[in-house]
Structure 1
Amino acid sequence: MSEENAQSQANQPQFAIQRIYLKDLSFESPNSPAVFSKAWQPEVGLEINTKTRSVGDDLYEVVLTLTVTVKSDGDSAFLIEAQQAGLFLIKGLEGGQMQHTLGAFCPNILFPYARETVDSLANRGGFPALGLAPVNFDALFAEQMQKQQAGEKAEQQH
């Protein structure tokens, strides 16, 4: 391989999953066993958050937090909070590309793991699996960027 080819490959963006792991997990069922004697009519609330931090040379930790609140017949059935994390090697990306990778691409990779954890934990708590619907992290990221830009414009006007 020529030196020129080696140099051009070194400048190419690189992305690799180093590890996917469960960082934190919580389950609460405050009204059990009474909740099991009522008709199961679940009202599911889902809150999604992500956090990103640099942990070394080109290594980034992304933590996807799912908070699932389920009520049935007006009573709290259970609450699950799962922090699914990943360690990613990312080289050669800057600015908007890096923000998109950390804010949308990585959470997209982590979500199926978090969804499986939530389903499994609901089952272990005596409840049916939730089968959370897929999430469009690209759309959530775009919405967040629009809000951030609108906030910056508002600050500039004051």
Structure 2
Amino acid sequence: MAENDTAEFGEPLANGEDTAPQAGVLSQYVKDFSFENPNSPAIYQAQTPPAIDVQFNIGSGKIADDVFEVVLKIEVRAQAGDQVAFLVDLSYAGLFGLRNIPQDQLDAFLLGEAPRILFPFARRVLADAVRDGGFPPLMLEPIDFGGIYLQQRAQQALAEGQEAGHA
């Protein structure tokens, strides 16, 4: 390495300072969970398959220096005719250790990449709960959280641009 303080990606600087971006999963867990089957056992006699509505929400917060919690909240409502078949509320969370991530890229990781990492595990918890509730397992399709994040940021930038144009 040269005498200056530059280094190749992933190598510490000559002065020993580690400036390479690092991200890692510290822990994953069910933060909150509810399954309701309010019309059992009558719902098992329903002749029509339930219509299923799924809603997602992502939240994040700083827990400590370089440690962030990301919560993927999934709400499912299954309706068979005029009866609720089942309701599921799942908050699946992860603790992420993040070092040397530029501030302008932090939200992209917390709201795009971290939910992508958590989703397969949350999907399994959800599928198992629905199956254990007496229904066929609910297997959600993969979701492009990064794409959704970028789309929301573009819409936000467009809205801010329109507001600035009207000022």
Provide TM-score, normalisation by structure 1.
Answer: 0.90
- For structure 1, which runs of at least 5 residues remain unmatched after alignment? none
1:16 alignment partner, one of 14, 24, 34: 24
Partner of 1:97, secondary structure, is helix
Report the Cα distance in structure 2 between the residues aligned to 1:6 and 1:93, rounded to whole angstroms: 15
Mean Cα deviation higher: 44-53 or 138-147: 138-147
1:6 aligns with 2:12: yes
Report the Cα distance in structure 2 between the residues aligned to 1:122 and 1:111, rounded to whole angstroms: 16
Q: How does 1:53-92 map to 2 (within 5 A)?
A: 53-92=61-100
8 Å contact from structure 1 (residues 68, 80) kept in 2: yes
Q: How does 1:100-139 map to 2 (within 5 A)?
A: 100-139=108-147
How much does 1:37 deviate?
0.7
What code does the residue aligned with 2:118 have?
Answer: L
User: Higher helix fraction: Structure 1 or Structure 2?
Assistant: 1
Partner of 1:138, secondary structure, is helix
8 Å contact from structure 1 (residues 19, 88) kept in 2: yes
Report the Cα distance in structure 2 between the residues aligned to 1:142 and 1:37, rounded to whole angstroms: 44
- For structure 2, which runs of at least 5 residues remain unmatched after alignment? 6-10
Question: Aligned residue for 2:55?
Answer: 47
Aligned identity (percent) is: 33
How much does 1:20 deviate?
0.5
Q: Cα distance 1:40–1:121, how it changes in 2: closer, same or farther (>3 A)?
A: farther
CA RMSD of aligned residues (A): 2.1
The one-character-per-residue Cα deviations of 1:2-23 (angstroms, maximum 9, x if unpaired) are 9955327711001111100110
Question: Aligned residue for 1:147?
Answer: 155
How much does 1:54 deviate?
0.6
Partner of 1:6, secondary structure, is coil
Larger CA Rg, structure 1 vs 2 = 2
8 Å contact from structure 1 (residues 39, 73) kept in 2: no
Aligned length: 158
Provide TM-score, normalisation by structure 2.
Answer: 0.86
Report the Cα distance in structure 1 between the residues aligned to 2:20 and 2:91, rounded to whole angstroms: 31
What code does the residue aligned with 1:129 have?
Answer: P
